[in-house]
Amino acid sequence: MKRIKICPVCGKEFIPRHKNQVYCDDEMKKQEIRFKKALEEKDKKEKATDEKESEIKVRTKICPVCGKEFTPVAKHSKYCSKECSDEVKRQYRARYYQQNREKYLDYVAEHQKPDTPHVYTKVCPFCGKEFETTNNRKIYCSDECKNQYNKEKKREKKVYPINTCIMCGKQFTARSVRTRFCCKECEKKYNREKDMDLEYKAQHSYRTIVWKRRQKEARE
């Protein structure tokens, strides 16, 4: 004999189809789910309102500088305005300066630059004159000496190689090691002879000779 159950929503008696069935119908099950969701949403709203009320109670603070009540924007804010916070910083700096005044004055005296800069006497490496400067990195007495010294240095560095022309056999000063011709005429002449040699080799090669023999045999 099957066991009779009572529906928790409508209170009707029903015979379950399986042992895990709780509700008499699917509509009753859906109704129970909606009711539970509504209760959860209600609890969430009540919690949110309670939190807001607690925040409003905590928000009212008293500024330690001016003594006014204010509602802070953030949780950690202590002062009502920027002026009060600047006043606290100013007081802290004054206190720190009074405590460490001797150390500060000693540091300033050690690291303070002198009013009259040190004068250095040097010798120009180009003209050999003595000159005085306040800049320790300066080497030349003037910009003219500097430019002329750099020009001569560049000329000394440029050493052009001496090459022999492949075509005529003359020696010439080349700008680079790779240059092989003394002039453009020698280069053109060399290229012409090279082309002629290639044409001659192409005409008198083994393949061309065989090809010509076969053509003669085919004509005969």
Q: Are 155 and 132 in contact (CB under 8 A)?
A: no
Cα(55)–Cα(73) distance, integer angstroms? 11
pTM over 0.85: no
The pLDDT of residue 15 is 77
- With tokens 């009060």, the residue in question is 84
Identify the band that residue 8 occupies on the pLDDT scale cut at 50, 70 and 90: confident
Transcribe 89-140 into DSSP letters: HHHHHHHHHHHTHHHHHHHHHHHPPPSSPPPEEEE-TTT--EEEES-TT--S
Reference 85, options 103, 105, 70, 102; nearest CA is 70
pLDDT digits (tens, 9 = 90+) for 151-210: 888 776 667 788 888 888 888 888 777 888 888 888 888 888 877 776 666 666 666 767
For range 14-21, the mean pLDDT: 78
Cβ burial of 72 (10 Å; 0-12, 13-18, 19+) is: middle
Q: Is the pLDDT of residue 147 over 60?
A: yes
**At which residue do the structure tokens 């802290």 appear?**
92
- The pLDDT tens digits of the residues spanning 25-42 come to 777 777 887 888 888 888
Give 197 or 78, the one with higher predicted confidence.
78
Task: Please state, in angstroms and rounded to a whole number, the distance separating the CA atoms of residues 95 and 93.
Answer: 5
What is the rounded CA–CA span in Å between residue 170 and residue 161? Answer: 14
Answer yes or no: is pLDDT of 121 > 80. yes
The answer to whether residue 43 scores a pLDDT higher than 70 is yes
Q: Which of 79-88, 107-116, 208-217 has the highest mean pLDDT?
A: 79-88
pLDDT score, position 35: 82
The average pLDDT across 132-140 equals: 88
| Percent of the chain whose pLDDT exceeds 90 | 5
Q: Which residues contact 98 (CB under 8 A, 6 or more apart)?
A: none
The residue ranges of every structural domain in the chain are 5-59, 62-107, 120-157, 162-212
Q: Of all residues in the chain, what percent carry a pLDDT higher than 70? A: 85
- pLDDT of 50 reads 74
> pLDDT at residue 58 above 60?
no
Question: Could you count the other beta carbons within 10 Å of the beta carbon of residue 163?
Answer: 19
Residue with structure tokens 């002449």? 189
